[in-house]
């Protein structure tokens, strides 16, 4: 069972300045919902209702979003707009939200280690809210939990990317397992390699399921690419023991950390409504 989902949400979102100067990037909306709400909904669809958020300075809007707003609710009560809050109210009443602050920005690995206090000694999921994933029938995290239940080790979601984009992602090499065409046992992984050094065009996207020994590994992991503590490097320690599976998920992903991806997601969700 996976009971908890960690949301690293301390990053500055510099690609969206000035919009992210006083607004957390996780609160940027695709249509009327902020990115992090899509992530929480994906976790809930996967059977998770304990959300652990690694936050930071300037991120209080996230806490306020997942809380009751008495004045607002009083103001719109009985009117036509009241139903607009139904979804978020449902999430708030079905989930718990816990927060801890990452004091310095030192990489995704460091953010995940900061979340240890909220996770403890159990396997857990991670959603990077700026990777917005969609599958009508079965959410990406729900698919990954099935893979975790089968292999009982860490799982990363992967996608084929054009070779010239390898410098933006963790990139894996692996062997297909059990006659599948979508599930690999990882043999190598490199953080943001140049295309000439990339072991494949299979990129890790912002969905992980990790076993709790990752925290001890992260404590020992030295700064890597960009001088930051990389989850990719820590996962390589598990991969050397054959303990990381890469799963090519079914569905769509939008890189909402980039303006192009954000606009693409906005248009796609808008068209879907019509
Ligand atoms: C992080 C990881 C990278 C992964 C990516 C997925 O990079 O370090 O391995 O491929 O998330 O979104 P970031 O996008 O935070 O630079």
Average pLDDT of 17-29?
96
Please write the tens of the pLDDT for every residue from 212-239: 999 999 999 999 999 999 999 999 999 9
Q: Give the CATH number of domain 4-273; options: 2.40.37.10, 3.30.420.40, 3.65.10.10, 3.90.550.10.
A: 3.90.550.10
Atom of ligand 1 nearest to the CA of 205: 6
74 C-alpha to ligand 1 centroid (Å): 41
User: Between residues 86 and 203, which one has the greater pLDDT?
Assistant: 203
Atom of ligand 1 nearest to the CA of 192: 9
Pocket of ligand 1 (CB under 6 A): 108, 128, 131, 169-170, 191, 203-206, 230, 232
- For the chain, the structural domain boundaries read 4-273
User: In whole numbers, what is the pLDDT of the chain averaged over residues?
Assistant: 96
Atom of ligand 1 nearest to the CA of 225: 8
Half-sphere exposure of 70 (CA within 13 A, CB side): 0
264 C-alpha to ligand 1 centroid (Å): 19
What's residue 18's pLDDT? Answer: 96
206 C-alpha to ligand 1 centroid (Å): 7
pLDDT at 273 over 90: no
What's residue 86's pLDDT? Answer: 87
Instruction: Show Cβ contacts of residue 116 under 8 Å, excluding neighbours closer than 6 positions.
Output: 215
Average pLDDT of 8-32?
95
270 C-alpha to ligand 1 centroid (Å): 27
What's residue 269's pLDDT? Answer: 97
Please write the tens of the pLDDT for every residue from 179-199: 999 999 999 999 999 999 999
Neighbours of 97 (CB within 10 A): 18
pLDDT at 127 over 90: yes
- φ/ψ bin of 149: left (φ > 0), alpha (ψ from -120 to 50), beta (otherwise): alpha
Q: How far apart are CA 156 and CA 224, in angstroms?
A: 19
Q: Which of 126, 189, 206 to mutate to test the pocket of ligand 1 (most atoms within 8 A of CB)?
A: 206
205 C-alpha to ligand 1 centroid (Å): 7
Please write the tens of the pLDDT for every residue from 239-271: 999 999 999 999 999 999 999 999 999 999 999
| Residue with CA closest to ligand 1 atom 15 | 108
Neighbours of 194 (CB within 10 A): 10
Atom of ligand 1 nearest to the CA of 170: 9
Please write the tens of the pLDDT for every residue from 57-109: 999 999 999 999 989 989 998 888 988 988 999 999 999 999 999 999 999 99
pTM: 0.96
Q: How far apart are CA 108 and CA 11, in angstroms?
A: 9
Q: How far apart are CA 9 and CA 35, in angstroms?
A: 11
What's residue 261's pLDDT? Answer: 97
What's residue 79's pLDDT? Answer: 87
What's residue 82's pLDDT? Answer: 87
Q: Which of 12, 25, 166, 168 to mutate to test the pocket of ligand 1 (most atoms within 8 A of CB)?
A: 168
């Amino acid at each position: 069972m996976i009971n908890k989902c960690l949301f690293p949400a301390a990053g500055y979102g510099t690609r969206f300045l000035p919009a992210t100067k006083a607004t957390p990037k996780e609160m940027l909306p695709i249509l009327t919902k902020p990115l992090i709400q899509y992530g929480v909904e994906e976790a809930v669809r996967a059977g998770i209702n304990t959300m652990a958020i690694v936050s930071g300075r300037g991120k209080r809007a996230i806490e306020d979003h997942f809380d009751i707003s008495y004045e607002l609710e009083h103001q719109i009560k009985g009117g036509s707009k009241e139903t607009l809050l139904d979804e978020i109210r449902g999430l708030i009443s079905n989930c718990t939200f816990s927060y801890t602050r990452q004091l310095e920005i030192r990489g995704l690995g460091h953010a995940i280690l900061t979340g240890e206090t909220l996770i403890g000694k159990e396997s857990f999921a991670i959603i990077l809210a700026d990777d917005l994933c969609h599958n009508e029938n079965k959410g990406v995290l729900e698919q990954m939990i099935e893979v975790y239940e089968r292999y009982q080790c860490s799982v990363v979601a992967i996608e084929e990317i054009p070779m010239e984009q390898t410098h933006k992602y963790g990139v894996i090499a692996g062997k297909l397992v059990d006659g599948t065409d979508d599930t690999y046992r990882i043999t190598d992984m490199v953080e943001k390699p140049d295309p000439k050094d990339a072991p494949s065009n299979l990129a890790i996207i912002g969905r992980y399921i990790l076993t709790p020994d990752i925290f001890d590994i992260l404590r020992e992991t030295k700064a890597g690419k960009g001088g930051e503590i990389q989850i990719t490097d820590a996962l390589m320690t598990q991969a050397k023991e054959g303990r990381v599976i890469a799963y090519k998920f079914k569905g769509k992903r939008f890189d909402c950390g980039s303006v192009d991806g954000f606009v693409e997601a906005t248009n796609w969700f808008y068209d879907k409504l019509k």
